[in-house]
Amino acid sequence: MSQTRETILQALSDLTLPDGGDVVSRDLVRALSVQDGRVSFILEADSPETAKRLEPVRLACEQMLKKLPGVDQVMVALTAHGPAAKAPPKPAAPAGAPPNLQIGGHMKPQQGSMKPSGVRHIIGIGSGKGGVGKSTVASNLAVALARQGRRVGLLDADIYGPSQPRMMGVNKRPSSPDGKTIIPLTAHGVTCMSIGFMLPEEKAVVWRGPMLMGALQQMLTQVEWGELDILLVDLPPGTGDVAMTLCQKSEVTGAIVVSTPQDVALLDARKALNMFEMLKTPVLGLIENMASYVCPNCGHEAHIFGEGGVKAEAERLDLPFLGALPISIETRIAGDAGIPIAAGEGPMSDAYAALARRFILGGMA
């Protein structure tokens, strides 16, 4: 028996909330998708505090729907549209405690490379412009490589707009035993570092170029990365200071460029490719993101941003085309929930697993 939106909503309406009503009558269900045995939706609360209390309800929804005939996979994410309550002031550090870790400041004079000694390969993931899904590709590729047995690090170098803390589902402040060494966080088998771990999510980073380069230097040289097969660096969009410093100072193995197929995005992607050429950084391949959209209701496939533009550009430049990834609501829900789609099962997870295998077979991981 195959399920429909109506049968799923009917099943959800039988689940009573602790304070009365159900998730359907209380209008908490958003972005419900039912397709080929996969069910996904968002439970949207009115505040982050309410969302935390709804975690048992989210789990109950998943468990109940998995028992329905014809349902193979269920993904339910929690979100909130209200502001979070302000955190209480931090208590003063006890006497003798290690000094507070500070991120930022100008680059320190340094002899030699900024490449961490235990890292075999550093790969930058860049784009000519924002909004093409570069960070989504970076987080999911990292998780896919980790699932295939590789020791993987993920450095969020998009200092103005760090998104990996949300996408990887980690928001703790890294510890530091001496105020200099940084102990990175781990999520989904990936060692992670981001400026976003050090600041409140809503706080802007208002720094000039030298401060950006100083932060990059700290996150490469002061973080205890350990032994890694590959460190993926989620670069900021464009062709600015961070990408230049990484490529010039860190013995980068190569770069991947992510773009959507539309002409405007490709214009900017060509600038990123030209930058890597000028910096003598090998381009390991191009990825076409948001290549198509399949309607979850009727199954029609539409090429919203055009079709095949990135593949054609790769062929024109004689560069590897690493694959095309569709627009997927499951991918977006998973990223918002801090559980990358590559950590689960399904077509999108399989697509990232195939991309990871290309890296492994190519000796890049």
Domain boundaries, the chain: 5-80, 119-361
> What per-residue confidence (pLDDT) applies to 98?
44
SS3 label, residue 356: helix
Cα gap 239→128, rounded to integer Å: 7
Cα gap 241→230, rounded to integer Å: 22
Helices (H), the chain: 5-12, 48-53, 55-66, 134-147, 164-168, 209-221, 241-249, 263-278, 309-317, 329-337, 347-361
Per-residue model confidence as pLDDT tens digits over 193-225:
999 998 777 777 777 778 888 889 999 999 999
| Pick among 3.40.50.1220, 3.30.300.130, 3.40.50.300, 3.40.50.2300: CATH of 5-80 | 3.30.300.130
Going by C-alpha positions, the residue among 163, 165, 166, 159 that lies closest to residue 134 is 163
DSSP 8-class letter at 8: H
Tokens of 264: 């405007």
> What per-residue confidence (pLDDT) applies to 26?
87
E-assigned strand segments in 56-145? 73-80, 119-126
SS3 label, residue 278: helix
Non-local (6+) Cβ contacts of 162 within 8 A are 156, 194, 195, 196
> What per-residue confidence (pLDDT) applies to 15?
85
∠ CA(280), CA(258), CA(221), 5° rounding? 55
Tokens of 34: 């039912």
> What per-residue confidence (pLDDT) applies to 92?
47
> What per-residue confidence (pLDDT) applies to 93?
43
> What per-residue confidence (pLDDT) applies to 220?
94
> What per-residue confidence (pLDDT) applies to 109?
67
**Which conformational region is residue 33 in: left (phi greater than 0), alpha (psi within -120 to 50 degrees), or beta?**
beta
Cα gap 163→157, rounded to integer Å: 10
> What per-residue confidence (pLDDT) applies to 90?
47
Question: Which portions of the chain are predicted below pLDDT 70?
Answer: 81-102, 104-106, 109, 111
> What per-residue confidence (pLDDT) applies to 97?
40
Note the pTM of the prediction, 2 decimals: 0.76
DSSP 8-class letter at 360: H
CA distances from 157 to 135, 147, 292 (A): 10, 23, 28
Cα gap 128→183, rounded to integer Å: 31
Cα gap 62→55, rounded to integer Å: 11
CATH fourth-level superfamily of 119-361: P-loop containing nucleotide triphosphate hydrolases (3.40.50.300)
301-302/228-234 β-pairing: unpaired
> What per-residue confidence (pLDDT) applies to 111?
64
301-302/283-294 β-pairing: antiparallel
